[in-house]
Structure 1
Amino acid sequence: MKKKILIGIAIGLLGLITIAAAGGLGLYLWAARDLPSFKKITDYNPPLVTTVYARNGDVLGHFYRERRFLVRLEEMPDYLVKAFLAAEDRGFYEHPGIDPSAIFRAMVKNFLAGDIRQGGSTITQQIIKRLLLTPEKSYERKLKEAILAYRLESYLSKDDIITIYLNQIYLGARSYGVEAAARSYFGKHVGELSLAEAAVLAGLPQAPSRYDPYRHPERAKQRQRYVLEQMLDAGWITQDQFDEAVNAPLEYSAMPDPSWQVGAYYLEEVRRWLIDYMSRENMNAMGATLDRYGEDAVYESGLHVYTAIDLDHQRAAEKALHDGLIASTKRRGWRGPIKTLAPSAMEDFLARQKDVVQRLASGEWVEAVVKEVSATGATVELGNFEGWIPVKSMHWCRKPDPKKATEQVPSVSDARKVLSIGDVVWVSRASGDDKGKKSKATPEEGQIPLELEQEPEVQGALVSLEPPTGEVRALVGGYDFQKSNFNRATQAHRQPGSAFKPIVYSAAIDAGFTPASIIIDAPTEYRFGGRVWRPSNFEGEYYGPTLLRTALVKSRNTVTVRIAERMGVDAIIDRAHALGIEEEFPRNLTISLGSVAVTPYNLCEAYTAFAREGTVIKPRMVLAVKGAWGDDLYQSAPEVREAISPQNAYIMDTLLQDVVQHGTGWRAKVLDRPVAGKTGTTNEEHDAWFMGFTPYLLTGVYVGFDQLTPMGRFETGSRAASPIWVQYRQAVEDTYQPEEFPVPPDIVHVNIDLKTGKVADGSSNDTEFLPFIAGSQPSAAVAGYMSPGANGTAGDAGPSSPEDLFKQF
């Protein structure tokens, strides 16, 4: 009987086992029927931060959608990995992807709570949940998670799985992965973290917002202690290490993000270029296998982008343009306060101001409210402080006279004509404290000495590149990127005015003119398109027979137009295109005076021919692009092409050096080096330019309103643009050795009488050695004033003297 009972029980148990197995198999098949493929995890390719570097390796900026930096396991401290394992999955290296004991513990707690409160997931399961499944809490999802986790462990090593986890996990503060979190919370790279800091990060995955060290430092500390206790219990740290880590002070500070700070316009231009370059067509053409293209590649592929920017150059360029535009706006006088507050609104306005003293000390401007004003100055309030603006700080607040230069208008002598109570104005910390003698013009005790400021409406651009390589060392596209990201260096098409003339004169040299050719400087008019055009010189004066060299140095418009007329506009257009000017040109003489709009970036490219002995080089900002794992995606190489002869380039260099020494580019003489350059000013001072270069550095500056608006009388290239150029170059010039422009073969120098164009003799008072292409120089018997014939070459058809030439007009 007993035997039959035992057999019955055995059969029953076997049946139950069979049923359970069948049920388990059915449950498995049911759960596995629509499982996603885990293969994409084995090819782990998460969204990563693209990093842009300056030429010295410093970070210029980042592009990202998720702030994640990929790091290898060997780059992480061993105790960091163990801290995460202690907090999340102590048996990670023992279990096959699922931990039955942890699941059982979670089931008991959930049963007692009557709800799903704990998951019991392993790190492998967490990866499955984050990358393949939804975050919903359900037994079906948990079952699918377990199946996929088990499968994944048969394809990837434990080290691979923990590497994916530590790079993927969200840790708060917009930080994905341990490297981003280390930067966000401790201002360090992950390899620099201490045990105490690593334990703080390991405590975050459970609830990043709840344990946020910035908002809840006490909770973060409690969670850190829990992690360290788990590590101690596992035998992964000693008691001494535990005690040291628990007692270590924690200092939270984010690693500064340089993005959109210094070099914001440069960074934006790199971003735009990258999006275009990382197109599917480009990548397919080079055989690159990427999962993302275009904008997605830039924001998610973790590219490493190496640029030519020199941050010292960039800072100097930004400050120079900033200062130059402020000086320009002050020359146009006071536009009025930012706004005027009613007395009831002042208190609320001041209460919102923070850190005003620190901001002033760092050179920043702050807003202030006028409290009292007298003839000698104004008392202002800013935050919890008072300041004093003396009337001498308001000297520039004069009303401009369109017919006069600013200096001809009397300065403001009464502050009440400028400010009123309640006015909100920009102020900066005064350079001197004005302490000493007490008077109504000095600040009272405790008042901050201030200067009245005004933000410019005028804009500008600066481009600076090294001609030998074409590498762009600095690029600024406006006064403030945060207020306007329109890049005037690369996107603004403006008339260059006389800054275009070197292109005209370069063509003239090849058309048979020489520096000693004489052309008449006198009023003239032309008819085309049913209209009459009367070019004139800036000063409204004319000087009769004029050397070509002098016409360029003094920027004589009528001479330039006559040269263009004689050689034909096609020669100018051909030369402009040969030098890389991309614009289309109308076939009329106005182009000789720079009527066709160009970008500063493009004009700098054209000028490289003069700095490079005749060859043009494409400006380069991006030098190389690498993938997240260091694979080469792009490598820049200089793009050089022949444009003009070395002899032509040298003659232009010499003439443009004379522009600096004796003409409108005179401010650049302060460098006390061989410098060539040309100013440019358009009608009614809409645009002002200065293009200046040496063999080692070429810099172009543009100033003007975004909408065509006169900048004011005498706001010329010499006055508005060249001071910016000079300030920038003075800041960087000492990093280069002085360098002469090289003299090519077949150049001869002849001492020329600058009045007659003849070879100088004992009776000549004003002479200069001018360069000529061998064979074109005047001799003692042949005067340099011989003008080109109709075919553009020097011939015997010219008049016999400057007086005869003058009579012809």
Structure 2
Amino acid sequence: MSKDYRSRVERRQSSEGSKPAKKKKNPKRNWKKTLLLLVLIFGILGVLSIAAIAVTSPKLDPKKLETPVSSKIMDMNDEQVSLFSGQEKRIRVNINEIPDNVQNAFIATEDVRFRQHHGIDVRRIGGAAVANLTHGFGAEGASTITQQVIKNTVLTNEKSLTRKIREAYLAYQLENKYSKDQILEMYLNKIFFGNRSYGVATAAKTYFNKDIDELELDEAATLAALPKAPSYYDPTRNPKAAEERRNVVLNLMAQHGFISKAEAEKAKSIHVKDRIHQGTLNAESRPYDAYLKQVMDDVKKIDGMKDVDIFSAGLKIYTNLDTKAQQVTEDVLKAKLENENKYLQSGVAIVDTKTGAIRAIGSGRGVQLSNQFSSRITRQPGSTIKPILDYGPAIENEQWSTGHILKDEPVKIDDVTINNHDDRNAGDITMRQALVDSKNTTAIRTFQDIGPEKAADFANGLGFKLDPSTTYPSYAIGGFRKGISPLTLAGSYAAFGNGGLYSTPTTIRKIEFPDGRVIEVDSEPKAAMKDYTAYMITDMLRDVMDRGTATQANIPSLDIAGKTGTTNYDKNDRNKYGIPSKATKDAWMAGYTTTYSAAVWTGYEHMQDDDGSALYLDNTKDDYSKQIFRDIMKELDHKNTGFKKPKSVQEVLLEKGTGKRASEFTPDSDKIRELFVKGSTLPEVSKKFDKPATIDGLKAKFDDKKNEIQVDWKYKNKDGVTFKVLASYNDGPMQERATINDTKFVVPSPAPGKYTFQVIAIDSKNNTQSEPAETSITITAPEEPQQPGTPPGQGEPGTPPGQGEPGTPPGEGQPGTPGTGTQPGTEPGTPPDQGQPGTPPDQGQGNQVNQNRKEKQQEGGGLIPPLNQ
């Protein structure tokens, strides 16, 4: 068997040996082990990374835990302005002074397992992770009260994994060093409640004018609702939202067993607005308060800064604050409004024309209206919108000239007819004059010609947010649904003064963090329009200041442009509140120099006061916005540079009322200077004042039988034309003799001599005249016999020619002097039509005919014989 077996084996081996050897297969890899190994490796690396981050965390500083670090505010010159430091309201209380309901309201809302965890709530982290995966990152936070103390005192609010690791690590340390009551006390004394109030005891005084131990359940819940979003849930500004959030807090307290459902329902039945004590909110504002509130708003807009508390984060905030402009603004508002109706409000925004930097903010008066009437107000802009939504887009897109002719007639849109504020219409009018007179009809027609798409696009390039599909013709005259703010308006007008470059207005240049990190805020300018559009609008708005609706706001020493705007109450509101038909609701003034741009609004927050009396601007108060604008702008340091016309703009002389270019015959009084985009098609030259055609066929002849000179001529078109006849005698000065409608003129009984005539055609309608046509004729005297020995043209022998008696002035002579015949020149040697020798024609003591001639000649100036007119 063994032999056979070996043989078989040998044979098989021999057989297999004749075939190529097969490769051995690799053993199958264990992927589970590989995955586990990778997890282990990454886990170790993760732990090492977390450990590295944790050990590099800042140390807990008891001073920071106890006292917040105020942020420093720097002005435009990097000078520190102590606006936040020590200015905020703080009342510190011990934990045993804070009622249980107050403590529980915050615990139920912010960290329900606060007294069970060790600084980190693992269950809450898991729930937040699920929420973030299902509803997006940031849908729910997992920070405990302990972590919030760390975040608000030691770390920044930067949203990063590194910060969260350090926050958790330091929260665990905080729990090991301090008791729960101490941590909760830190939290409740540091938290920001809005209206410059820090700490729950301060908030109790601010909103309810109560000590902390006097708070009711609903009031405690209202305070617990605030930290999530102090501005939005501010019960003084948004009581509805505050009440909704308060009710959420009450429901959470009932859900977690801190109060019963009945207690929650009872507390929810009380209206938040009925609890607020407004008196404590009317305290005198600190210096530059309105500007600082704008800083707070602008900080929130910066990426990563939404949750930063600028009062306690130890920041150094570099702003664009112009302290002089801010102080001037506050002083002018105080002087103008302090003796007026306490409900009268005003909002002012001043920006740098070149950069858009916000230089000053003027706020409202009274119950927490500061800043509400500068950047947050949304009021209809009235006619201040016309350069932005009508004429600016027309120049930008269609290259209209400032002399473009528009029709000023009522406009009908659907069933509504829109007219001007004074119901007067001028017919055809230039775009410049339409803006100067603030015509509504032309603005709407311009908007309709341009279209809502182009109009809205132009406005949106200037900081607006308009939807073309809902930008209606009423917007063309400021009839907005939601309105705009003075800050938006000032920023948009600045672009016109900056050659068309727009910069988003901001108060902030940069922010420095305590750890050295810096955030730069660069408001990069962008081209919102062509430079010709900016200048042409500016040039028209100069005229608005000089001779239009804004003369009260004008400052003659400045090159300044601007526009007014007013809005009225609708019929329903007038009837409901008893408001006069001509009352003004909102009054605006916006304008700019090359240095500063400003917008001013005045009006009322509501239509009635607390007593039910109607609130509106009468015909004196509707000018306050212009006066405030003027009084502020004239005190600012303008760089005294005027607006420079770009090369893309050319000046053209037009003829009034025609829209055509003035001709060489257009009178100066009918010429107007308008601006055109260089290279655009110019209008044709007007023929309205063309020179009339010259007289044709002018001639003069003497009719012996009638003893008269007959002057006649031809003229093709006599409609509206008269003829002025001028004549001279013996090359003397030309004198006007007649203005006639006929084409002939007669000179009866002419004296001998040379007569020259000129005839000019006059178009009296257009006040133009033709070149003169001229002709001459010479009348010779008939030959007369002379006395022997007497020299021709003399009287008595020895008498100088042309004289009478010795010493007698020429032309006068004694009575009875020869020359009394009926025909001139009958006396030998006497010139025709004369009396004494040497007397000029038509003078002397001749017959009555000669006397009549003398009188007529004297009326004509005594230079030529009398002519028949």
Q: TM-score of the superposition, structure 1-length normalised?
A: 0.48
Give the structure with the higher percent helix.
Answer: 1
Q: TM-score of the superposition, structure 2-length normalised?
A: 0.45
